[in-house]
Structure 1
Amino acid sequence: MGDRRGVAVVRACHPEPTVAVTALVTVLAVASGRGPAACALIGAAVMCGQLSVGWCNDLVDAARDTAAARADKPLATGAAPREAVTAAAAVALAACVPLSLAAGRWAGAAHLTGVAAAWAYNLGVKRTAASWVPYALAFGLLPAFVTLGLPGRPWPPGWAMAAGALLGVGAHFTNVLPDIDADLAAGVRGLPQRLGRRRTRVLAPLPLLAACAVLVLGPPGPVGRTGWAALALTCALAAATTAAASAGARAGSRLPFLATLAMAVTAVGLLVLHGGSLAPA
């Protein structure tokens, strides 16, 4: 029984995005030239921050998920005890603070600002028209967490922070897209919900397309075939998604969501590819 509860608690942390964001920032740290110990420290800090955010999200949404009979939510099904998830979120958040600051005072401040923004989203901002702001802030500061711990505490180039912010906004729209109707029924009225399913489908690819363009055209040096190919692919996916949405794709179709997700993966790949350009030469 204890093992099952432990697995359920882990499932409540949103493991997929937790692992994805942790891996992204760790790879960026490696690409920027950080040593193995620093990269491990950065990865641990991001992991703890993401764990705390995921558990916080499910705790805040527990009543709504229970009312909606969400079988995929361990708190809603009773598989994960609320007390255990609360304790796990508190421990993860407490561990995130010293781990972040150990990477450098300014680097830690940047990361903790992003974590605070994510908690603010969970605790109420997601119900407002400014629901996109925490995503933009948190993702935009991730490159700063990597570079501000380097000698001289350099800020990352503007293109990296802009691409991160755009990627965050795109992630927000992509994440919300499948659940817009359920969110509206529960009274959650963030920006995508206010726009509605059809307009969100049309607009969701745009910040990801912009992020890809910034990542292709922003870094120094020639673009190269990889950059142009990635930009062409993203443009094609954006055009297809927008056309499908404008034509009134059926409500249950996941094609716009999957296409937008593919754009996000492309943008993340470009960000990692240019990770070596984050630090000054």
Structure 2
Amino acid sequence: MLALIRASHPGPTVVVTAMGSALAAGVGRGAGGTLLAGAAVLSGQLSIGWSNDWIDRRRDQAIGRADKPLAAGPGTPDGTGEGLAPRTVARAAFVALAACVPLSLANGLAAGLVHLAAVACGWLYNLRLKATAASPLPFAAAFGLLPAFITLGLPGHPWPAAWAMAAGALLGMGAHFANVIPDLPDDLALGVRGLPQRLGATGARVGAAVLLVAASVVIALGPGGHAGAPAVAGLAAVVLALGGGLAAARGNLRRAAFAVTVAVAVIDVAMFAAQGARLV
């Protein structure tokens, strides 16, 4: 069970689920609506995480990824690692995907279809676009649609403000660039050449920083064109995180860059959640 949880990419799964739940609470979906939205997002993220490890299992085995349950362990012919068989992860991915359909549609037809489109973007990335120059596009589409999934579940089914979808798209692409940084050498060795890998280590770091800072600015200034106290505090935290990262970069630039981009992404998510009531 622990290996299966690790194979679900628990970090991103928890963060995205928390983000969706916080946005739902912020726009006034109520306790029931927030739980329903969170359950739909959780099932979709689990399906994407498990499918990613299942699809990438042979590449992960080739480089000995000890953090991936399907690549760790004795390396038996069927790919079993830590007592976890590939078919178990595949079944979990499809069960989560099957659960995602009714959970998404329970939020309303329009909201459900939008969320299923976002989940499809995650699967498309895993199946095809991960190793192409178009690798950021599924993240832009999926994260850009997340605010729409939340607001379309409200009475009247309103679409979110344009700034919210733009901020979600920037945040998603920034998260993609940041996530690539620690694994960039391994990806290049295996021929995985998404856009961040094609830009190289420096390009990936700069791209992650630019996208996440841009998301910060849009989240802070998008609603009404002026920043309130929470937005100002968020922007100040982003500046401090970037400054601290530059100061710490002398020891290990790659590790510092990854830590900074993760910190900025967390700040962006918190700022986004704080703007929940202004999404519509």
TM-score (normalised: structure 1): 0.91
Mean Cα deviation higher: 177-186 or 212-221: 212-221
Give the paired residue count: 271
Q: Which runs of 5+ in 2 are unaligned?
A: 73-80
Q: 1:187 aligns with which of 187, 191, 196?
A: 191
Taking the aligned partners of 1:51 and 1:203, their CA distance within structure 2 comes to: 27
TM-superposed deviation, 1:241: 5.4
Sort the Cα spacing of 1:166 and 1:242 in 2 relative to 1 into closer, same or farther, 3 A. farther
Q: Which residue of 1 aligns with 2:39?
A: 44
Q: Deviation digits for residues 221-272 of structure 1, max 9, x if unmatched?
A: 7523332232233245446657988xxx676641111111111111111101
Q: 2:200 aligns with which of 178, 196, 200?
A: 196
Taking the aligned partners of 1:227 and 1:88, their CA distance within structure 2 comes to: 39
Taking the aligned partners of 1:169 and 1:135, their CA distance within structure 2 comes to: 5
Percentage of matched positions with identical amino acids = 55
Sort the Cα spacing of 1:210 and 1:37 in 2 relative to 1 into closer, same or farther, 3 A. same
Q: Does residue 62 of structure 1 match 2:57?
A: yes
Q: Does residue 30 of structure 1 match 2:25?
A: yes
Q: Which residue of 2 aligns with 1:110?
A: 114
Taking the aligned partners of 1:201 and 1:251, their CA distance within structure 2 comes to: 13
Contact 1:201–1:241 (8 Å) recurs in 2: no
Taking the aligned partners of 2:22 and 2:231, their CA distance within structure 1 comes to: 19
The residue type equivalent to 1:275 in the other structure is G
TM-superposed deviation, 1:213: 0.4
What pairs up with 1:81-92 in 2 under 5 angstroms?
81-92=85-96
The residue type equivalent to 2:118 in the other structure is G
Q: Which residue of 1 aligns with 2:77?
A: none
TM-superposed deviation, 1:9: 1.4
Contact 2:220–2:232 (8 Å) recurs in 1: yes
The CA RMSD over aligned residues, in Å, is 1.8
TM-score (normalised: structure 2): 0.92
Q: Which residue of 2 aligns with 1:278?
A: 279
Q: Deviation digits for residues 164-191 of structure 1, max 9, x if unmatched?
A: 0000000000100111110000000000
Taking the aligned partners of 1:135 and 1:242, their CA distance within structure 2 comes to: 27
TM-superposed deviation, 1:273: 0.5
Q: Deviation digits for residues 15-37 of structure 1, max 9, x if unmatched?
A: 11111111110111011101222
Taking the aligned partners of 2:230 and 2:153, their CA distance within structure 1 comes to: 30
Q: Which residue of 2 aligns with 1:139?
A: 143
Taking the aligned partners of 2:46 and 2:14, their CA distance within structure 1 comes to: 9
What pairs up with 1:1-281 in 2 under 5 angstroms?
6-77=1-72, 78-79=81-82, 80-220=84-224, 222-238=226-242, 253-279=254-280
Contact 2:174–2:207 (8 Å) recurs in 1: no
Q: Which runs of 5+ in 1 are unaligned?
A: 1-5
